[in-house]
Amino acid sequence: MTEQSIPSYICPIVSSRETYTYDMDKKNNEYIDQLKDFLTIASVSADSKFTSQVQESAQWVKNALIESGCDTAEIYPTQGHPIVMGTKIIDAKLPTVMVYGHYDVQPPDPLDLWESDPFEPIIKRTPIHPEGALFARGACDDKGQLFIHIKAFEELIFENNLQCNVTFLIEGEEEVGSTHLEEFITNYKEKLKADLILISDTAMISKSQPSITTGLRGLSYIEVTLEGPSIDLHSGVYGGAVPNPINQLSQMIGQLHDENQKITIPGFYDDVLPLDKASKAEIFKEAFDEKEFKQSIGINDIIGEKHYSTIERKSTRPSLDVNGIWGGYILEGTKTVIPSKASAKISMRLVPNQKWEKMTQDLEQYLIKITPDAYRVSIQSFQGGDPYVVSRHHLGYQAAHLAYQKTFGVSPIATRGGGSIPIVSSFEKVLGIKTILMGFGLDSDAIHSPNEHFGLYNFFKGIQTVKHFYHHYTNLSLQDSSL
Q: Which of 81, 88, 317, 453 binds a copy of itself (CB under 8 A)?
A: 317
Task: CB nearer to a copy of itself: give 26 or 262.
Answer: 262
Nearest approach, Cβ of 166 to a copy of itself (angstroms)?
A: 28
Helix/strand/coil for 97: strand
For the beta carbon of residue 163, count every other beta carbon within 10 angstroms: 17
In the chain, the amino acid numbered 30 is E
Residues 149-188 close enough to bind a copy of itself by CB under 8 A: 175-177
Strand 196-199 and strand 435-437: the pairing is parallel
CA count, 13 A, side-chain hemisphere, 187: 9
Q: Are the CB atoms for 335 and 329 separated by under 8 Å?
A: yes
Q: Is 80 in the site for a copy of itself (CB under 8 A)?
A: no
Q: Which of 86, 138, 144, 228 binds a copy of itself (CB under 8 A)?
A: 228
Nearest to 202 by CA among 19, 39, 378, 414: 414
Task: CB nearer to a copy of itself: give 46 or 89.
Answer: 46
For the beta carbon of residue 95, count every other beta carbon within 10 angstroms: 21
Q: Which of 297, 368, 410, 478 binds a copy of itself (CB under 8 A)?
A: 297
- Quote the CA–CA distance of 323 and 348 in Å, as a whole number: 10
- Quote the CA–CA distance of 323 and 326 in Å, as a whole number: 11
Nearest approach, Cβ of 271 to a copy of itself (angstroms)?
A: 17
Q: Are the CB atoms for 213 and 417 separated by under 8 Å?
A: yes
Nearest approach, Cβ of 262 to a copy of itself (angstroms)?
A: 11
Q: Is 424 in the site for a copy of itself (CB under 8 A)?
A: no
Nearest approach, Cβ of 377 to a copy of itself (angstroms)?
A: 11
Q: Which of 47, 67, 357, 480 binds a copy of itself (CB under 8 A)?
A: 47
- Concatenating the DSSP letter of every residue in 102-159 gives E--B----SGGG-SS-TTS-EEE--SS-TT-EEESTTTTTTHHHHHHHHHHHHHHHHT
String of contacts with a copy of itself for each residue 3-42, x by CB under 8 A = ----------------------------------------
Helix/strand/coil for 354: coil
Q: Which of 111, 303, 410, 478 binds a copy of itself (CB under 8 A)?
A: 303
Helix/strand/coil for 446: coil
Task: CB nearer to a copy of itself: give 70 or 176.
Answer: 176
Q: Which of 41, 70, 437, 447 binds a copy of itself (CB under 8 A)?
A: 447
- Quote the CA–CA distance of 425 and 384 in Å, as a whole number: 11
Residues 359-388 close enough to bind a copy of itself by CB under 8 A: 372-376, 382
Q: Are the CB atoms for 294 and 301 separated by under 8 Å?
A: yes
Q: Is 417 in the site for a copy of itself (CB under 8 A)?
A: yes
Nearest approach, Cβ of 445 to a copy of itself (angstroms)?
A: 10
Task: CB nearer to a copy of itself: give 188 or 238.
Answer: 238
Q: Which of 88, 314, 468, 472 binds a copy of itself (CB under 8 A)?
A: 314
Nearest approach, Cβ of 429 to a copy of itself (angstroms)?
A: 20
String of contacts with a copy of itself for each residue 234-263, x by CB under 8 A = xxxxxxxxxxx-xx-xxxxxxxxx------
Residues 342-361 close enough to bind a copy of itself by CB under 8 A: 342-345, 347, 349
Helix/strand/coil for 27: helix
Per DSSP, 445 falls in state G
Q: Is 229 in the site for a copy of itself (CB under 8 A)?
A: yes
Nearest approach, Cβ of 375 to a copy of itself (angstroms)?
A: 7
Q: Which residues contact 254 (CB under 8 A, 6 or more apart)?
A: none
Q: Which of 95, 132, 412, 419 binds a copy of itself (CB under 8 A)?
A: 419
Q: Are the CB atoms for 317 and 305 separated by under 8 Å?
A: yes
Task: CB nearer to a copy of itself: give 36 or 448.
Answer: 448
